C-alpha cells in the first residue's frame, strides 16, 4: 500500500476547505438515497443464500431479512415486499411477518441472464422504512441489445480529424487555494471541438522534480460546480491529474450561478442529455466525446509527463466518458471506470434494464428510429469493443442510476485485459477506500 503524507495548509486554506466541505455535505446529504440512511434509527440486514449474490439461470434464490431499531432486532413488524426485474416494475407483491425477528423471502429465478430486485417496506411508529437488494443470474452471459452501426469507426475517425483543424488554444491560471507544499493546481481552458468553444479542467501537478504519469478524469452527469480537492491525493502520490469539465462553463462559479445555468439547460425532455438526439451530428454529447482527445493533446505537451502513461478514469457519466476516450484515442494506456453510464441505453427495448439516462422510462418520445439510431453511435458498449488496453471496473448491484445489468454488459464486451471489483451492497457511490484502490491499480500498471 502507498502512504500519503499529511498535508500542511495555512489558516486561510484551512478555512476555505472547511467551508467547502460543510457546504458540500449540507447539500449532498438530503439528496442521497442509500439503503441504510445516515444516522437512521433503523437498519435493514438482507442476506442472500449465495454469499456473492450471484446465481445461475433456473437456480432459485432466497433472501433472509432482519430489521434492527436502535441496534435491537425488531420482532413484531410485517414486511411488505415486491419482486421484479432490475429497473422495471415489480411483478410479485406480498407480505411476510417477522418470525423471531427474521423472514425468509423466496426470490425465484430467471430463465435468461439478468438481475432480480427485491424491494422491501416496513412501518414502525407510523414511519415507513424502505430497502432494496438485487441478485444476479448468469451475469457473465449478459450481452448488449445495442448493435454497432456499420460506419461507427469511420464516422468517429472523420469527426476526430475535423476537430484537429480547430486552432490549439490554451489558457492556464494558477489556483492557490487548491495548491499546497506538494501540489500545484491550475485552472485550464482549452479550445476544443469547434472554434470559439471551450472546455475547462483543474490540472494538479506534483511539485517534486521528475516525470509523471497522467490521469484524465471526465466528470459525472449534471451541470454543477467542481473542485479538485477530493482527488488531490493523486498529485500528492506522484500522478498528474486533470479533472475535466465538458460543458464550456467555468467550474469555479458559485453554486447559485450554476443552479441558474442548470435550470436554463432544463430537465427531463429538455435536459442536455436529450439535446439533439434526433441526429448523430447534432447530439449534445458529441462535443464531450470529441473534446477529450484535444485535452489529451494538451496533457501530452506537459513537460512533466513521463511520455509513457496516459490513463482515463471516471465514475458514472465520467466512467462512460473514460471508456469512450479509451476506445477513441490510442494514446490512452489504461482506463478505470466506476459504474459507467450511457451503456446499452436501448436495452429496455429487449424487456430489461437499459443504461442511464434511462431514455425509455424517465423521458417521453425517445423510442423513435432516429433517436435509437443516434444512441448506438454514443453508446459506451460500442466503444468498449475497441478498447485494447488494461481496464479496471467497479460497480454495485443496488445501483438504480447505472444498474448492474448494463455494467456487466459493458464489462463483458471488453476484450482486453480487465479487472473488476464487485461491491454488491453499493448503490450509486464508491467508498474512499475504493477510490484509493483505483489509484493502487493505476500505479501497479505503470510502464
401 and 345 Cβ atoms separated by less than 8 Å: no
Which 3 state secondary structure label does DSSP give 150?
Answer: coil
Q: Shortest CA distance to 373 belongs to which of 159, 166, 151? A: 151
Pairing of strands 418-422, 391-395: parallel
Query: What distance lies between CA 343 and its chain's CA centroid?
Result: 11
**In the 8-state DSSP scheme, what is residue 405?**
H
| Alpha carbon distance 254, 287 (integer Å) | 24
Instruction: Note if 316 is an active site residue.
Output: yes
Rounded Cα distance between 74 and 78, Å, is 10
Which of 405, 397, 391 lies closest to 441 in space, CA to CA? 391
| CA–CA separation, 290 and 329 (whole Å) | 10
Give the separation between CA 338 and CA 438, rounded to whole angstroms.
9
Options 316, 336, 343, 344, the catalytic residue? 316
Residue 69, beta-bridge partner list: 42, 72
Contact 297, 325 (CB under 8 A): no
Among the residues of 301-431, which ranges form H helices?
Answer: 317-328, 359-362, 369-378, 380-384, 404-413
Going through 92-169 in order, the beta strands assigned E by DSSP cover 92-97, 102-108, 114-124, 127-137
- The phi, psi pair for 439, rounded to 5°, reads -65, -40
SS3 content of the chain, % helix, strand, coil (to 5): 30, 30, 40
Question: What is the CB-side half-sphere exposure of residue 271 using CA atoms within 13 A?
Answer: 14
Count of other CB atoms within 10 angstroms of residue 262: 18
373/280 Cα distance (integer angstroms):
8
DSSP class of residue 345?
A: G
Question: Which of 243, 344, 379, 399 is flagged as catalytic?
Answer: 399
Q: Determine contact, residues 322/345, Cβ cutoff 8 Å.
A: no
Q: Backbone phi, then psi, for 405, in 5-degree steps?
A: -55, -50
Q: Is 108 left (phi over 0), alpha (psi -120 to 50) or beta?
A: left
Q: Determine if the peptide bond prior to 364 is cis (ω within 30°).
A: no
Annotated catalytic residue 399: yes
List, by residue number, the catalytic residues.
316, 399, 428
Amino acid at each position: 500500500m502507498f502512504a500519503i503524507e499529511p498535508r500542511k495548509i495555512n489558516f486561510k486554506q484551512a478555512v476555505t476547505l472547511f467551508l467547502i466541505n460543510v457546504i458540500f455535505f449540507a447539500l449532498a446529504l438530503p439528496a442521497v438515497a442509500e439503503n441504510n440512511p445516515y444516522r437512521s434509527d433503523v437498519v435493514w440486514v438482507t442476506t442472500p443464500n449465495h454469499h456473492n449474490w450471484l446465481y445461475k439461470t433456473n437456480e432459485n434464490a432466497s433472501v433472509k431479512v432482519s430489521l434492527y431499531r436502535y441496534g435491537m432486532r425488531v420482532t413484531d413488524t410485517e414486511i411488505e415486499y415486491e419482486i421484479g426485474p432490475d429497473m422495471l416494475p415489480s411483478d410479485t407483491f406480498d407480505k411476510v411477518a417477522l418470525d423471531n425477528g427474521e423472514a425468509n423471502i423466496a426470490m425465484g429465478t430467471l430463465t435468461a441472464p439478468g438481475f432480480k430486485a427485491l424491494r422491501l417496506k416496513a412501518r414502525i411508529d407510523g414511519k415507513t422504512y424502505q430497502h432494496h437488494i438485487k441478485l444476479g443470474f448468469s451475469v457473465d452471459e449478459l450481452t448488449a441489445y445495442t448493435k454497432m452501426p456499420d460506419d461507427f469507426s469511420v464516422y468517429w475517425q472523420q469527426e476526430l480529424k475535423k476537430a484537429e483543424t480547430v486552432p490549439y488554444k490554451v489558457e492556464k491560471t494558477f489556483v492557490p487555494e487548491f495548491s499546497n507544499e506538494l501540489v500545484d493546481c491550475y485552472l485550464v481552458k482549452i479550445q476544443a471541438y469547434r472554434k470559439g468553444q471551450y472546455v475547462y479542467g483543474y490540472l494538479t501537478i506534483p511539485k517534486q522534480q521528475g516525470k509523471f504519469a497522467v490521469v484524465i478524469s471526465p466528470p459525472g452527469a449534471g451541470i454543477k460546480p467542481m473542485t479538485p480537492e477530493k482527488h488531490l491525493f493523486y498529485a500528492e502520490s506522484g500522478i498528474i491529474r486533470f479533472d475535466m469539465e465538458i460543458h464550456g462553463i467555468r467550474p469555479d462559479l458559485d453554486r447559485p450561478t450554476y443552479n441558474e445555468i442548470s435550470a436554463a439547460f432544463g430537465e427531463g425532455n429538455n435536459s442536455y442529455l436529450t439535446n439533439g438526439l434526433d441526429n448523430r451530428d447534432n447530439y449534445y454529447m458529441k462535443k464531450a466525446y470529441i473534446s477529450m482527445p484535444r485535452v489529451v493533446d494538451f496533457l501530452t505537451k506537459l513537460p512533466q509527463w513521463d511520455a509513457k502513461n496516459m490513463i482515463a478514469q471516471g465514475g458514472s457519466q465520467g466512467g462512460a466518458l473514460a471508456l469512450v476516450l479509451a476506445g477513441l484515442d490510442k494514446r490512452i494506456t489504461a482506463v478505470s471506470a466506476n459504474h459507467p453510464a450511457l451503456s446499452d441505453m436501448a436495452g429496455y427495448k429487449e424487456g430489461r434494464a437499459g443504461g442511464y439516462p434511462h431514455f425509455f422510462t424517465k423521458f417521453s418520445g425517445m423510442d423513435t428510429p432516429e433517436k435509437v439510431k443516434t444512441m448506438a453511435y454514443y453508446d459506451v458498449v460500442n466503444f468498449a469493443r475497441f478498447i485494447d488496453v488494461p481496464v479496471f471496473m467497479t460497480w454495485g448491484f443496488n445501483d438504480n442510476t447505472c444498474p448492474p445489468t448494463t455494467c456487466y454488459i459493458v464489462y463483458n464486451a471488453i476484450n482486453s485485459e480487465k479487472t473488476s471489483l464487485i461491491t454488491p451492497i453499493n448503490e450509486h457511490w464508491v467508498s474512499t477506500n475504493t477510490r484509493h484502490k483505483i489509484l493502487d491499480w493505476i500505479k501497479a500498471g505503470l510502464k
